[in-house]
A = this chain, B = another copy of it.
């Protein structure tokens, strides 16, 4: 996490340097990253969507300048900037379309405006895809040749990288892994998107809370009830706490989430056959560092194993992400680096002719 992360000094950093911007509904995270994917500085600011997209982009440009200064460089030293935002978006046009998490920022040419206010070239990327690329570049996926990431949060996001290429899709909908169908029945649970049976309707934080409420109103006894009755909000964090303390319902709900996730993971394994699958996002039930985290991962691996071919179960790495909330801006910077390198190669090719 940012608070404890080591930042590399400009003296030790490997140029060129890249800016990464990770725009969320609540906060914008900005970091400067060196050519080896090491953060040189980091800052966060409120998104304040209500001030409008142009003001937002101006704050991002200022933030990039401050982050560059903190890193010991300046804005003009950045070779390229990567900008990650939630969808819907049109990546090739650099446009936000109708992102539900950025009200008032719809149909806005965010990429071109950030180029205008920074004077730097900007690459545009989906936020979940950026996080996946960050993990692939310098996180849990750094030893993998190809990787699929599932991001569990309010929704379920995803990203797919094959041989250093991000599968962005023809309509900027590549790696929308929250919308893989895991239950095809007519009465399957309704997803946030309005369609039924999607992974997100079972394994997102929203879905986990909804499944808990259904179990409680179905009469199941749980220490969760007492906490909710005493005024606590029913969140996945509260659920994780009660599961850690041994509450049976809370533990069932958490482990069922791993089972639902496994169905989606297996389908994507049979489609992409990646070297590894990485699980990240705010809702991950801990990590290797907690008993609940270890139980969740163990259940996930078991449920994958009974649903796939033995050779894939044996060879496909399944593990937690390791960059936490830094994955987004690091990955956005990594995408910027790919664009910068492609430009250098094109220039070299045309010089050779």
Q: Which residues of A contact B (CB under 8 A)?
A: 88, 145-146, 158, 160, 162-163, 165, 167-177, 179-185, 193, 195, 263, 266-275, 307-309, 311-312, 315-316, 352
Contacts and interface: CB of A to CB of B under 8 A. Distances in A.
Contacts of A185: 185
B171 A271 contact: no
A272 B272 CA distance: 9
B273 A171 contact: yes
Contact of A271 (B170, B268, B309, B316): B268
Contact of A275 (B158, B168, B170, B270): B170
Nearest to A306: B195
25 contacts: A88-B311, A160-B272, A165-B165, A167-B273, A170-B273, A170-B275, A170-B316, A171-B311, A171-B312, A173-B269, A173-B273, A173-B309, A177-B270, A179-B270, A179-B309, A180-B270, A181-B263, A181-B266, A181-B270, A181-B307, A185-B185, A193-B309, A195-B308, A195-B309, A271-B272
Contacts of A172: 273
Given A307-B181, A308-B195, A352-B352, A273 B162 contact: no
Contacts of A170: 145-146, 273-275, 315-316
B352 A176 contact: no
Nearest to A276: B170
A16 B315 CA distance: 39
Contact of A195 (B160, B174, B307): B307
A21 B272 CA distance: 25
Contacts of A177: 270-271
B273 A176 contact: yes
B273 A180 contact: no
A171 B167 CA distance: 19
Nearest to A179: B270
A175 B173 CA distance: 18
Select the residue from A180, A185, A352 with max chain B CB neighbours within 10 A: A180
A311 B171 CA distance: 8
A273 B172 CA distance: 8
A193 B193 CA distance: 33
Given A168-B273, A170-B273, A183-B184, 15 more contacts: A88-B311, A146-B169, A163-B165, A167-B273, A169-B274, A173-B273, A175-B271, A176-B270, A177-B271, A181-B182, A184-B184, A195-B308, A195-B309, A267-B271, A268-B271
A174 B273 contact: yes
B169 A267 contact: no
Select the residue from A163, A263, A269 with max chain B CB neighbours within 10 A: A269
Nearest to A170: B275
B307 A160 contact: no
B271 A180 contact: yes
Contacts of A168: 273
